[in-house]
Amino acid sequence: MTDRISHNADTPLLRVDSLSKSYGPVVGCRDVAFDLWPGEVLGIVGESGSGKTTLLKCVSAQLEPDGGAVQYDTRDDGPRDVYGLSEARRRLLMRTDWGIVHQNPRDGLRFGISAGANVGERLIAVGERHYGDLRAEVTDWLERVEMDIGRMDDLPSTFSGGMQQRVQIARNLITRPRLVFMDEPTSGLDVSVQARLLDLIRMLVGTLRIACIIVTHDLGVVRLLTHRTIVMQKGEVVEHGLTDQVLDDPQHPYTQLLVSSILPV
Amino acid sequence: MTDTDTLLNARNLSKTFTLHTQGGVRLPVFDGLDLSLQRGQCLVLVGPSGAGKSSLLRCLYGNYLVQHGEVMVRHDGRMIDLTQATTRDLLDVRLRTLGFVSQFLRVIPRVSTLDVVAEPLLAQGCGEDDARDKASTMLARLNIPDRLWSIAPATFSGGEQQRVNIARCFVADYPILLLDEPTASLDVDNRKIVLDLITEARRRGTGIIGIFHDPQDRAAVATDTLELAAMDQAA
Ligand SMILES: Nc1ncnc2c1ncn2[C@@H]1O[C@H](COP(=O)(O)OP(=O)(O)OP(=O)(O)O)[C@@H](O)[C@H]1O
Ligand SMILES: Nc1ncnc2c1ncn2[C@@H]1O[C@H](COP(=O)(O)OP(=O)(O)OP(=O)(O)O)[C@@H](O)[C@H]1O
Ligand SMILES: [Mg+2]
Ligand SMILES: [Mg+2]
């Protein structure tokens, strides 16, 4: 792979333009636009049904939008319309330069194969054949997500929810993606497990300087992890800005309501 | 004074809060406010509680939005208007030009004190060892005992947290510092240390805009003052 097209400082990694998606009469998301820069972490918040998952799926090439465009600064070809890529190139992009961490580990892991095999799968898909190298790389990544190496040959179903999410994260990061999408990566976990997983995500995203889009309904999560926040209501973006600005001086009535309903700790 | 001595120039700033969750009540805080900051100047904001001193600092940091006006900041040798800047530019200005000490430390859970203080340096591209050295030096100077360095500041006393907050800001050598009551919860000895840090920074050419409750603290550091009056909030 050549690096001839510069990932220059003036090109966003991702450019989303007037993106819309409806399910028949039901609006999923409408007319959404934003840029994402290398290493930037963007949070998407909003109440249930506001279109967060729809938006994330449209942006991450999992769900074709009805209108609008998603442009990604590919490593070898510069900015390209994601839905204009051939199926093969899009799939390669999705399993090398991107990562997708699902809320439900069942959507992001293969339950019929071991944790180690799950983590190594993307490397094999991009051509790694040497068993020793593969095993070393998988071990390294399991360690990075603070998993017990002794359990690498166990099936994901034997793990707790928090451990399954760690395996999912390792599985995605092993190809060194530049962009990771996460949909409620910590919801459904115990509070203490959630906290440790958030620390891990914060540490990995920060040290590897991965750009990230995180969907969450938890304003504490956006405060902790993100640079910028998009607030959605009824499929539309009602507020968008630096995370601390959106949380400390919210402008839109809906954002003010969201912020004011956080219990003081 | 040359042109390049101007570090920050705010013009015609207006800030009004609209509280939508409380029937749309409007709280005007300031209107048509001008200020400028030169190298080596320490501008102290004075005014009664609720006059909008903290709000003004936050507007200068891009943490609060203004309704009108511009906030020109010298960044990388040019003036950039923070009210119009992209979030990306604003983050870069905060990374390298603007330091901010809020009245209370916003604790990042489970991150050690040393890492909290080293973080701005690492973000600026400083090497890990160097960053930790500088962070240690600053924590020691601010009398944070080294047995506390490896634990998260969440359980610290108010004064200890405030000193961590100050260490985190002063470690990075920003050309402009915005300080919201940095001495408020400190005892006499630590207060003196912080005032010394401020004066040293100013002598290096740093521009400082600060809020100090205590008249003695104010007198010790201020080169200029700006008076904010409470606005009639009946509007
Ligand atoms: N496959 C689908 N078919 C029909 N309607 C759908 C489908 N997926 C989502 N919707 C509808 O689109 C709207 C947005 O849903 P979406 O899942 O994007 O919301 P969300 O913000 O992710 O909510 P939550 O926080 O509950 O996950 C909702 O009204 C939802 O019912
Ligand atoms: N995020 C906010 N949302 C709504 N109103 C706010 C917000 N921040 C400040 N205010 C209001 O703005 C006014 C000015 O507050 P500010 O904190 O700026 O005053 P101050 O001069 O710093 O006071 P003090 O000396 O007590 O710290 C007050 O009426 C305050 O309630
Ligand atoms: Mg969802
Ligand atoms: Mg104040």
pLDDT tens-digit profile of A68-114? 999 999 998 999 999 999 999 999 999 999 999 999 999 999 999 99
CATH superfamily of B3-227: P-loop containing nucleotide triphosphate hydrolases (3.40.50.300)
Residue A127, CA distances (Å) to A88, A101, A168 in order: 15, 22, 20
Nearest-by-Cβ selection for B109 from A195, A248, A252 = A195
pLDDT in tens, B99-117: 999 988 877 778 999 999 9
Q: Is A12 in the pocket of ligand 1 (CB under 6 A)?
A: no
CA atoms within 13 A on the CB side of A63: 18
Q: Chain A residues with CB inside 8 Å of B63's CB?
A: 242, 244-245, 248-249
Average pLDDT, rounded, for chain A: 92
Round to whole Å and give the CA distance between A182 and A14.
Answer: 15
Asked if residues A229 and A241 have their Cβ atoms less than 8 Å apart, the reply is yes
pLDDT value, residue B21 = 92
User: Ligand 1 center to residue A59 CA distance, Å?
Assistant: 15
Residue A3 pLDDT more than 80? no
Residue B38's SS3 state is strand
Cβ burial B35-57 (10 Å sphere, 16+ → b, else e): bebbbbbbbbbbbeeebbbbbbb
Residue A93, CA distances (Å) to A75, A212, B2 in order: 9, 15, 52
pLDDT value, residue B2 = 62
Average pLDDT, rounded, for chain B: 94
Helix (H) or strand (E) holding A223: helix A219-225
pLDDT value, residue A2 = 31
Round to whole Å and give the CA distance between A167 and B163.
Answer: 39
Per-domain residue ranges of chain B: 3-227
Do the Cβ atoms of B21 and A256 come within 8 Å?
Answer: yes
Residue A162 pLDDT more than 80? yes
| Interval A133-157 mean pLDDT | 93
pLDDT value, residue B199 = 97
Percent of chain B beyond pLDDT 70?
A: 97
| Interval B151-163 mean pLDDT | 92
| Interval B69-98 mean pLDDT | 96
Residue A264 pLDDT more than 70? no
pLDDT value, residue B4 = 78
Q: Taking an 8 Å Cβ-Cβ cutoff, which residues of chain B contact chain A?
A: 17-21, 58, 62-65, 87-88, 90-91, 108-110
A117 CA: distance to closest CA in chain B (Å)? 32
pLDDT band at A263 (very low <50, low <70, confident <90, very high): low
Question: What's the pTM?
Answer: 0.93
| Interval A119-129 mean pLDDT | 89
How many Å separate Cα B179 from the centre of its chain?
A: 4
What is the atom index within ligand 2 of the atom nearest the CA of B55? 18
pLDDT in tens, B36-75: 999 999 999 999 999 999 999 999 999 999 999 999 999 9
Residue B235 pLDDT more than 80? no
Residue B147 gets which letter from DSSP?
G
pLDDT band at B169 (very low <50, low <70, confident <90, very high): very high
What is the atom index within ligand 2 of the atom nearest the CA of B103? 27
The residue among A249, A254, A260 with the most chain B CBs within 10 A of its CB, best to mutate, is A249
pLDDT value, residue A7 = 43
Residue A116 pLDDT more than 90? yes
Residue A265 pLDDT more than 60? no
pLDDT in tens, A9-59: 689 999 999 999 999 999 999 999 999 999 999 999 999 999 999 999 999
A88 CA: distance to closest CA in chain B (Å)? 33
Q: Could you report the predicted ipTM of this complex, rounded to two decimals?
A: 0.94
Residue A1 pLDDT more than 80? no
Q: Is A52 in the pocket of ligand 1 (CB under 6 A)?
A: yes
The identity of residue B226, as a single letter, is L
Rg of chain A, C-alpha, whole Å: 18
User: Ligand 4 center to residue B229 CA distance, Å?
Assistant: 13
What is the atom index within ligand 1 of the atom nearest the CA of A56? 18
Residue A100's SS3 state is strand
| Interval A164-185 mean pLDDT | 95
Q: Ligand 2, residues B29, B103, B180: which to mutate, most atoms within 8 A of Cβ?
A: B29
